């Protein structure tokens, strides 16, 4: 049985605080908690002068211990704080135990989310200019999931709302902060823009003709305009042309039959 009167180590204290919290704890919150308890309790006054360097070293050692012993969870820095996070390889058992359905974003919602994340603060009109479709219902859904919030108003006429990401967004995608987005490949282009970019970067083979800009503007599954247009006039069946040489040969054959 562990001795409850023994002075715990810094690593042990940090592990208990992070385990007992229902949200990521920042380095400042961890330090403030330890220092405030040390100032009010002489038994642990040794931690009254703990600094951020000591905390980081203890957190790194804690994480190494967890990973080395394959405990099924590890220490992760997310949304500007630290939390204990289960290993992804154990996800199937957790889903079965908790009967939890994963919150998956649809492709349109994920594309809209990426545009907001990389271009925030951004208005709804600017998002729609990139995607080419209305996004009002998608923004509403993202706000209900607490991934997107209103961060201000534009100076444009009408002062439309500007949207940005939330703290929950960082937690949901496992990001420390928005700077982590720079390490990820942004998927903020529409399909037409991606197709244009691919075509511009592609070197045509000898004798090959790349599609022009008008063709690239078409959706991937749409036929060319002339082929699918209702206004296009149907082609008229033309009579086969007969050459003058063929006509002359026919006349000579008729004359020989009359002479005979």
Closest to 37 measured CA to CA, from 50, 47, 29, 51: 47
Q: Looking at the domain assignment, is residue 82 inside a domain?
A: yes
Report the CATH number that the domain containing residue 72 is assigned in CATH: 1.10.10.10
Q: Is the pLDDT of residue 174 over 50?
A: yes
Domain boundary among 56, 91, 126: 91
Q: Judge if 56 and 128 occupy the same domain.
A: no
Position 24 in a domain: yes
On the question of pLDDT at 69 being above 60, the answer is yes
**Cis geometry, peptide bond prior to residue 50 (ω within 30 degrees of 0):** no
DSSP one-letter code for 239: P
CB under 8 Å to 82, separation ≥6 — which residues? 18, 24, 25, 26, 27, 30, 59, 75, 76
81 and 21, same structural domain?
yes
Which comes out higher in pLDDT, residue 145 or 224?
145
Domain region containing 59: 10-91
**Residues 84, 14 within the same domain:** yes
Name the pLDDT band for 124 (thresholds 50, 70, 90): very high
Average pLDDT over residues 220-243: 39
Domain co-membership, 17 together with 53 = yes
* 4-17 residue pLDDT tens: 567 889 999 999 99
Of the two residues 122 and 252, the one the predictor is more confident about is 122
> What is the average pLDDT value for the chain, to the nearest integer?
75
- Taking the whole predicted model, whether its pTM rises above 0.85 is answered as no
* pLDDT greater at residue 190 or residue 118: 118
pLDDT, residue 92, reads 86
Confidence (pLDDT) at 215:
36
In the chain, the percentage of residues whose pLDDT exceeds 90 is 32
For tokens 């942004």, name the residue.
186
Q: Where are the alpha helices (DSSP H) in 74-201?
A: 91-98, 107-119, 124-131, 136-144, 167-173, 191-201
Mean pLDDT is highest, among 177-181, 211-215, 238-242, for: 177-181
In this predicted model, which residue has the larger pLDDT, 257 or 2?
2
Length of the chain: 260
Reported as a pLDDT band with limits 50, 70 and 90, residue 179 is confident
In a domain, 65, yes or no: yes
| Residue among 62, 50, 69, 85 nearest 176 (CA) | 85
Nearest CA to 47 among 103, 7, 99? 7
Does the pLDDT value for residue 62 go beyond 80?
yes
Bridge partners of residue 49, in order along the sequence: none
CA distance 253 to 97: 95
Per the structure, the count of domains in the chain is 2
In a domain, 205, yes or no: no
| 207 inside domain | no
């Amino acid at each position: 049985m562990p001795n409850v009167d023994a002075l715990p180590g810094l690593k042990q204290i940090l592990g208990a605080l992070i385990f007992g919290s229902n949200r990521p704890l920042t380095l400042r919150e961890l330090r403030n908690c330890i220092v405030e308890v040390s100032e009010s309790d002489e038994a642990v006054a040794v931690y009254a002068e703990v600094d951020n360097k000591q905390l980081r070293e203890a957190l790194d050692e804690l994480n190494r211990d967890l990973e080395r012993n394959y405990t099924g969870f590890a220490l992760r820095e997310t949304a500007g704080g630290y939390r204990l996070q289960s290993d992804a390889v154990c996800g199937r058992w957790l889903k079965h135990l908790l009967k939890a359905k994963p919150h998956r974003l649809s492709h349109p919602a994920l594309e809209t989310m990426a545009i907001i994340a990389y271009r925030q603060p951004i208005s709804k009109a600017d998002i729609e200019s990139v995607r080419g479709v209305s996004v009002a219902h998608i923004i509403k859904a993202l706000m209900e999931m607490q991934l997107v919030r209103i961060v201000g108003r534009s100076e444009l006429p009408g002062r439309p709302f500007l949207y940005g990401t939330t703290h929950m967004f960082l937690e949901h995608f496992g990001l420390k902060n928005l700077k982590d987005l720079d390490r990820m490949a942004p998927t903020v282009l529409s399909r037409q823009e991606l197709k244009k970019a691919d075509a511009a970067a592609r070197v045509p083979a000898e004798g090959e003709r790349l599609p022009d800009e008008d063709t690239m503007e078409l959706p991937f599954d749409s036929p060319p305009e002339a082929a699918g247009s209702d206004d296009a006039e149907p082609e008229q069946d033309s009579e086969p042309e007969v050459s003058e040489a063929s006509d002359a040969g026919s006349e000579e054959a008729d004359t020989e039959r009359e002479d005979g």
